[in-house]
Structure 1
Amino acid sequence: MNDTELTVVGNVVDSPRRVRLENSAVTNFRMASTARRYDTGKQEFVDAGTLWVDIEAWGELGGNVARSISKGDPVIVRGTLTTRSWESEAGRRSAPQIRATAVGPNLARGWSDFHRPARAALANGQEAGREPQPTPEEEQLARDLDEASTSEDYGSGSGALYEVDSESSSLEPARV
């Protein structure tokens, strides 16, 4: 099999959406990754192109994503790259999509508290932590439901996804 595995570092640009299906569940969100490069002429870093990509996380990973990730969070996503296609009023459209195998916070931009759920043996003898794989019909239904919630065409924005003010940034955690 020739899967295209990749890792993308960026920011979550919309709130994760959890969809429960008959035998599984999926969480979808969109992220953006803006490349930066050093411009020797300007003697500063400048933003280059931005990759906008849809993420789908199935099963337990999707549940953990829905509990842990919010719009604006810096994340690292690992998974398989595909292209999602659909028909719109403007004609045939397509967008990159990653079926995530791992999602986590980007700890270069903050800190996190990790919580491991308690694992109980399942009554049907199935290995704990292993959910049934979604059927092709469930995958298509999840994509159709996600498309219905984000049916407008993707815009291409330019500019930074976030600004960092080094004058007001602190290396120490905030005191509550």
Structure 2
Amino acid sequence: MNETNVTVIGNIVTSPQRHRLPSGDSVTNFRMASTSRRFDRETQAWADHRTFFVDVECWDELAGNVSHTLSKGDPVLVRGELYTHSWDGEQGRRSRPQVRAAHVGPDLARGVAEYRRTARVAVPADPGGIAEAAEAPGDDVPPPGDPYAERSTDYFEGDAALHQADSDQPGDREAVPVPT
């Protein structure tokens, strides 16, 4: 396979639009812009250079998560397959770049986000059993079958944290000193 996988960092420039297809699949589409910056030696400041616009398509579960989480103007990182979308228009054959996203997330270098896992339905252990719903978001118990359950850690061992926390948020708990 010769897929061209890319990571694009930029801002969403159109509101994500979710559509349900007759097949039952769902797709969310949005357009994003990624502007490169260059250091201008004359002004001794960073300046915008070129802007790359690309359409992004997200399918199935990713489609729902994107449409419920992100909106126009949000800084994002998109990883997926880059390809050329072509069609026949009034002016002849036309084309534009498009990314079929495998991963989409907020750019935490430019803001904060609050992550919440989506609830999943567990597969019954025996064919006659009843499927149990996954734990509600925010519960400490990972959903059954979660591939990351064993890797998850809160970075706490006893009363000491891995690193001290410093926060400018009023009401945040105080940092726990790290033993040296």
4+ aligned runs moved over 6 Å, structure 1: none
- 1:1-176 to structure 2, matched below 5 A, reads 1-21=1-21, 22-122=23-123, 172=168
CA distance in 2, matches of 1:174, 1:39: 39
Structure 2 equivalent of residue 145 of structure 1: none
Q: Identity, % of aligned pairs?
A: 53
Instruction: Output the TM-score relative to the length of structure 2.
Output: 0.67
Aligned length in residues: 131
The CA deviation at 1:44 is 1.0
Larger Rg: 2
Gaps of 5+ in 1: 130-170
Q: Which whole-Å deviations, capped at 9, do the CAs of 1:58-81 have from their partners, x for residues lacking one?
A: 010111000001000000000000
Return the structure number with greater relative CO, CA threshold 8 A, min gap 6.
Answer: 1
More divergent stretch after superposition (27-36 vs 40-49): 40-49
CA distance in 1, matches of 2:100, 2:57: 5
The CA deviation at 1:90 is 2.2
CA distance in 2, matches of 1:80, 1:74: 20
Give the letter for the 2:74 counterpart. D
CA distance in 2, matches of 1:60, 1:34: 29
The CA deviation at 1:24 is 1.1
SS at match of 1:65: helix
Gaps of 5+ in 2: 128-144, 147-166, 172-180
Structure 2 equivalent of residue 149 of structure 1: none
